[in-house]
Amino acid sequence: MKNKKSILTYILLMAGVIILVNILADRLFLRLDFTADKRYTLSPATKDILHSLNQTVTVTAYISEELPANFSQLRRDFKELLIEYSNRSKGNVMFEFINPNKDESTEQKSMQEGINPVLINVREKDQIKQQKAYMGAVVHYGDKKEVIPFIQPGAALEYALSTSIKKMTIDNKPKLGFLEGHGETSPNSMVQVMQALYVLYDVENVNLKDSSANLNKYKTLVIVNPKDTIPPSQFAKLDEFLSTGKNIYIAMNRVDGNFQTATGTEVNTGLEKWLETKGVRVNPNFIVDMNCGSVMVNQQQGAMTFQSSMKFPYLPLITKFAPTPATKGLTSVLLQFASSIDFVSTRKDLTFTSLATTSDKAGTENPPLRFNINRNWQQRDFPLSNLTVAGLVTGRIAGSQNAKMIVVSDADFPVNGEGQQARQIPPDNMNFIVNAIDWLSDDTGLIDLRTKEVSSRPLDQMEDGKKALIKYLNFLLPVILIIGYGFVRWQFRRNLRIKRMNENYI
């Protein structure tokens, strides 16, 4: 009878503990983040945004149910993220999940809100079929609305959500000034870049020839690919801008390559001489890199003409980046006719940081030159390594206040083009310029979130030894734990049996 009462008491106690844990789990949200990239930890920027909310933010997630594993994981991750947003904002973030595939009216409502379906491949009974899926969200703040039309598995969920909230809650966006009047690349030719910048900034064209232009209203001046000569009086205005502690971003071409004539020439606008007074020398040379992009060339075989892809070392593929906020998370950026950059100042009040460099097998060639597509490149053509293609200068560049200036020796990498010549640029090409401008202009810290995404660690790219270790560890560890638990239980019962056999045992 005593044993029965003890068992009943134990069962009731365990049930009470389980109920209590569930109640606490419903009211409190706690998770430990052991991931290398801290993907489940909210950034200080997000926390600041959530703490400053004056009204309730409502997030309606239109995400289909019964999806493949990677998409189902997206739904769970997004829900857990929203729970943490709600807790951090003290209830100022509310959310609901809707399955648009439930019925036709819900599906129509989803599309009316701006969430359109995508087709994904689903394996069913050893067959691959396409399924219509919805993976988006609508964020409401007062009478304002932001749509996240598609949430990519593995994407930066926190950045998409936090920037949507920030965009609606910010009253006066910081202003960016894009320089014009010297043949600069038009913002209309950089569609992807502009779409990313419009989230947090008001972008305006500024002409230094205009005497009424007020540069003080801009957080950062952006100069992309000037082609005409810039007069000294306008460089004086740039000096004055830097002297107030403001920042400048420059993407320039020191050389120009013409695919139609297969020739390379030097470019002079006066910008290179002004930069050299700041300690930055952009050399008039063409970088060649064994790690490079490709071009399509016509080849003749008999009576047939066909196109084939050929490596072109004048298009360096940059994969080495400094661990700075301006370049954090970047994987690869494809440049077009870049030049090497040297820091030549001896001033102690200036600091230079190399933000991006070539591979270990690189070289330079001086203009004028002719490009030979069929050239047989050899190892000896790449005698140099780690040439700087983007650099950061900080300190008292002009005047007594500290300022920052980023210089990139290629101005074509962020350009989409216009009309029929428009093309998509790689995502990291866009991030390369937007991250840098963000870092120069935005003090909220949202830059850290754009490239914060789930890092892929595929097994097929691991070393064989490590792969085998993980394989056997997954197989043997549960068995070892079970055997270990059994041994401990056996030893405990054996000791108890010996103890009971003792004549002094009561």
Is the residue at 493 inside a domain?
no
Distances (CA, A) of 312 to 78, 335, 368, 373, 416: 42, 11, 18, 7, 20
Task: Please report, for the domain that includes residue 243, its CATH number.
Answer: 3.40.50
Structural domains in the chain (count):
3
Is 496 inside any structural domain? no
* 391 and 332 in a common domain: yes
Beta bridge partner(s), residue 406: 249, 392
* Residues 428 and 312 placed together within one structural domain of the fold: yes
pLDDT (0 to 100) of residue 421 = 73
pLDDT of residue 462: 53
* 163 and 192 assigned to the same domain: no
Residue 457 lies in a domain: no
Indicate whether 289 belongs to any domain. yes
Whether 77 and 190 share a structural domain: no
Question: Counting every residue, how long is the chain?
Answer: 506
Q: Are residues 163 and 182 in the same domain?
A: no
Is 67 a member of any domain? yes
Q: pLDDT value at position 445?
A: 65
| CATH code assigned at 59 | 3.40.30.10
84-87, long-range: CB < 8 A, 24+ apart: 84/29, 84/31, 84/42, 85/42, 85/46, 85/50, 85/59, 85/161, 87/28, 87/29
How distant, in Å, are the alpha carbons of 91, 138, 172, 200, 451 from that of 165? 15, 11, 14, 11, 18
Residue 48 DSSP one-character state: H
Q: Among residues 148, 168, 188, which one ends one of the domains?
A: 168
Would you state the pLDDT for residue 67?
77
Per residue in 46-70, pLDDT (tens digit) is 888 888 888 899 999 998 887 777 7
What pLDDT was estimated at residue 407?
A: 98
Helix axes 44-51, 69-88, angle to 10 degrees: 50
Residues 137 and 192 in one domain: no
Output the six-digit token pair for 202: 């008001």
Give the rounded distance of the alpha carbon of 468 from its chain centre: 32
Residues 158 and 292 occupy one common structural domain: no
Question: How many CB atoms lie under 10 A from the CB of residue 278?
Answer: 24
- Same domain flag for 420 and 476: no
Q: Are residues 276 and 421 in the same domain?
A: yes
| Within a domain: 19 | no
| In a domain? residue 498 | no
Identify whether 500 is part of a domain.
no
Residues ≥6 apart with Cβ < 8 Å to 115 = 62, 100, 134, 136, 137, 138, 147, 149
Pick the closest to residue 331 from 416, 451, 445 (CA basis).
Answer: 451
User: 477: domain range?
Assistant: 462-488
Q: Token pair of 296, please?
A: 């399509």
Based on the domain organization, do 186 and 162 belong to the same domain? no
Residues 214 and 139 in one domain: no
Instruction: Say yes or no: 110 and 203 in one domain.
Output: no
Q: What is the pTM of this model?
A: 0.73
DSSP percent split of the chain into helix, strand, coil, nearest 5: 35, 25, 40
Domain boundary among 168, 185, 220: 168
The parts of the chain modelled with pLDDT lower than 70 are 1-7, 10, 21-40, 124-126, 153-155, 298-307, 420, 443-467, 502-506
Give the per-residue pLDDT at 303.
64
Domain-terminating residue out of 130, 149, 168: 168
According to the model, what pLDDT value does residue 133 have? 85
Please list the residues that pair with 137 across neighbouring strands: 61, 148
